[in-house]
Amino acid sequence: MSNVGTKENPLRVAIIGAGPTGFYTAEHLFKRKDLAVEIDMYDSLPTPFGLVRAGVAPDHQKIKSVTNLYTRIAQKPGYRFFGNVKFGKDITLEDLQDHYHQIVFCTGAQSDNYLNIPGADLEGHHPATEFVAWYNGHPDFRDRQFDLSQEKVAVIGVGNVAIDVARILSLSHDELAKTDIADYALEALSNSGVKEVYIIGRRGPVQAKFTTPEVKELGELEEADVFTLPEEMELDELSQKELESTADRGTARKVELLKSYADNKPTGKPKQLTLRFLVSPVEMYGDEQGRLTGMKLVKNELYATDAGTLRPAATDQFEELEAGLVFRSIGYRGVPLPGIPFNQSWGVIYNEEGRIIDPDTNKPIVGEYTAGWIKRGPSGVIGTNKPDALETVEKMMEDLKEGSYLHPSNPDAADALKMVEERQPDYFSFEDWEKLDEIEVARGEEQNRPRVKFTTVKEMMEAVGKQAAEPVV
Amino acid sequence: MNVSRILAAKPTNLVTIRPSNLIRDALAMLAQYDIGALVVTNDANELVGILSERDIVRRAVVVDDIMILNVGEVMTKNVVVGVPQDELMNVAHTMTERRFRHLPIVEGKRVLGIVSIGDVLKAQRDAYRGQIDTLETQVMADMD
């Protein structure tokens, strides 16, 4: 038999996860000269594109346009999409080892960091990630309940997810109705009782993770006035120094904008959005029914670590903030996959620059790789996953050259298809997705929206003419 | 982005040595692992110093047989350490301004890993590449 990676004997790769990293991994593989490669990309959802569909805010369509690039990758010969196929349930690691030379896990960070303070288990405290998945129509989260009758809502964290959540809560019906937000979320948010939204940051404005365009957007909301507190906008000496020595122009502009919000006066808009800095929740409290009613916040001061990062330290000053609904947004976290070594310290697959490592021997496991957030943890923008995926693909190519890859007993594309058809007859091909996409976009055109999403797997299947399988009794 | 993201995909890069080992052993380890510094720990696995190529070069100039010196005599004892929450931008600034190339990352007294200036540069390069790529995508969307 000829060498693996040739036209006669193509390299067969399984990519688990059809988010941005999965597509960048495929792109880097297809770009290799002198490599014949066949890629099967699996996803637990019928729809591809991961967080671009289910995470990026619905009013940020320009960011979502990156899917045009992914679609072009999917149209390359040798690419197949197997949606609605769950790793660990419909297919196992052994199945993949039996059909592919190399397997790449790009499953992202599907959980979030818990806020371990008294009262955090009260009803009304949710992960922001679940709210995001809910308003974006993720089938697994569409039935989540959020009490939007509350007038006061707080979002803990100052990353872009936190600011997305705060903005979505503050948008008017008309603003939301122009987006591809899930229909049920559009209705719920349009009828919400939310009047005051707080964003809570434990450090100062210079250290806030959200980006300048996002801060600017807050000042342009139709129905919400935005505020910061003058006393929290006065930079301490360390922050001032940091701004001068290390920060870029974007950060300087961001701080300027945030300072300008301290001068804002109420203009009579129905909602108020306030960004708070240098405070951390230390306790949540509720009523007799176990429902959240507010939080105790501690005021922080900044100190510099040895290496120069400004960190918060609690003072002895406290305040109380009323809020009936709180979203925590203090970081995503990876979820372990069955049979794959997991590094609990960092919440990632145990890996060395993309090669999955056996923690007992510290040696790479042949044929198994990882890329994206499940490799390095959640950081950066969508495009950051492109160089990350490249690093992994380079390791895959080195190993291929060295002859270190799996030797599947069924290395034929037809065999893999047969396996998928047996395990999950209701799988979605990329053609199925394109059909669904077309219908969603057409439904959107009628309402002058980018698309109207299907939000259950059953609906998706019916839309593309697949019969939902009878549940096995 | 904080330095824990660098350590997350480099779990096996921490190579430690004891102060009582010889420089000869240290050089062998530097060569074997193809790295530029060793973290020096005591019997309780606590950080007591760092031994870099530069430490060895500096001493080799003034000592005839450096090979038989102990690591503890040559290492840098006053080590600047990082924590997992340290941010890339600050770490890059501090390492550049204070002119050192290896930063052990600790949690309490436990050493979690080591970040080199090469790691920092690579992470910064990838972060910038990612940002450029994302911005380009958005510019293209405007043109469509």
Class of A114-330 in CATH: alpha beta
Residues of chain A positioned with their CB less than 8 A from the CB of B111: none
CB contact A213 to B (< 8 Å):
no
CA distances from A272 to A192, A194, A212, A231 (A): 14, 9, 20, 18
State the total domains in chain B: 1
Kindly give the confidence (pLDDT) of every residue in chain A, 473 residues in length, as a single tens digit, with 9 standing for 90 and above.
568 999 999 999 999 999 999 999 999 999 999 999 999 999 999 999 999 999 999 999 999 999 999 999 999 999 999 999 999 999 999 999 999 999 999 999 988 888 999 999 999 999 999 999 999 999 999 999 999 999 999 999 999 899 999 999 999 999 999 999 999 999 999 999 999 999 999 999 999 988 899 999 999 999 999 999 999 999 999 999 999 886 678 899 999 999 999 999 999 999 999 999 999 999 999 999 999 999 999 999 999 999 999 999 999 999 999 999 999 999 889 999 999 999 998 899 999 999 999 999 999 999 999 999 999 999 888 999 999 999 999 999 999 999 999 999 999 999 999 999 999 999 999 999 999 999 999 999 999 999 999 999 999 999 999 876 555 55
Does the fold of domain A114-330 match that of domain A11-110+334-463?
A: no
pTM of model > 0.90: yes
CA distances from A433 to A24, A47, A142, A275 (A): 19, 6, 20, 40
Interface test with A, best of B2, B3, B4 (most A CBs within 10 A): B4
Closest residue of chain A to B98, computed from CA coordinates:
A307
Q: What is the CATH number of the domain that holds B87?
A: 3.10.580.10
Type of residue found at A102 = Q
CA distances from A65 to A436, A449, B136 (A): 17, 15, 11
Residue with tokens 């029914």: A289
What residues of chain A, 238 to 267, have a C-beta less than 8 Å from chain B?
242, 245-247
Do the chains contact at A383 and B130, CB–CB below 8 Å? yes
d(CA A218, CA A280): 22
**A345 close to A360: Cβ distance less than 8 angstroms:** no
User: What DSSP state is assigned to residue A383?
Assistant: G
A336 φψ region: left (φ > 0), alpha (ψ -120 to 50), beta (else): beta
Q: What is the ipTM of this complex?
A: 0.89
| A11-110+334-463 classified as CATH 3.40.50.720 | yes
Do the chains contact at B142 and A69, CB–CB below 8 Å? no
Burial per residue of A377-401, b for 16 or more beta-carbon CB atoms within 10 angstroms, e otherwise: bbbbbbbbbbbbbbbbbebbbebbe
Closest residue of chain A to B5, computed from CA coordinates:
A376
Distance between the two ends of chain B, CA-based, in angstroms? 32
Do the chains contact at A384 and B87, CB–CB below 8 Å? no
Q: How many residues does chain B have?
A: 144
d(CA A123, CA A178): 31
Residue A239's contacts (CB-CB under 8 Å, 6 or more residues apart) are: A204, A205, A206, A207, A302, A310
Type of residue found at B129 = R
Token duo for residue A121:
């288990």
CA A307 remoteness from chain centre: 29
Cross-chain CB nearest to A352 (options B11, B85, B129)? B11
Instruction: Please report the number of interchain residue pairs, chain A to chain B, with beta-carbon separation below 8 angstroms.
Output: 125
Which residues form the domain of B22? 4-143
CB contact A149 to B (< 8 Å):
no
Domain coordinates in residue numbering, chain A: 11-110+334-463, 114-330
Sign, Cα dihedral of A68, A72, A75, A78: negative
